[in-house]
Structure 1
Amino acid sequence: ASGRPGGAGLGLALARRIVVLHGGALALEDRPGGGTVARLALPRGGSVSEGSTPEPAGGPAGASEPVA
């Protein structure tokens, strides 16, 4: 990322589609005053049946770690 706005805006759509195809979920949340929190949940292993909801990995509910 060059820090310049622009582009086709396809990166997030493609990332979300790939995550969903692997049985996961991807969500973004804007923070007041700037910044964005990205949350990614993927199944721990094995296969995920269609329509199931993966459990977030580790930590208490709502816990997150920043991603650089």
Structure 2
Amino acid sequence: MRNGSGGVATYRGEFEPPMIEEGQEQEYLKQLLVSDRTATDKALTLMYHNMRQQMFCDGNKRTAPT
């Protein structure tokens, strides 16, 4: 999990993803898994959520520590 900041320059200005709260992420995942969405919708929702949160420092070079 990302444990520091990882700002990204965009055409709208600097984007700073929110800090990761492990408990909130676990709760989000539990709620998503028990929802009545299709498996495909759950997978796409989780993928988008993880991309937007930029949860992992080494999975995305824009947020990797230098």
Q: Highest relative contact order (Cα 8 Å, sep 6+), 1 or 2?
A: 2
- Greater helix share, 1 or 2? 2
TM-score of the superposed pair, with normalisation by structure 2: 0.28
- Greater strand share, 1 or 2? 1
TM-score of the superposed pair, with normalisation by structure 1: 0.27
- Over alpha carbons, which structure has the higher Rg? 1
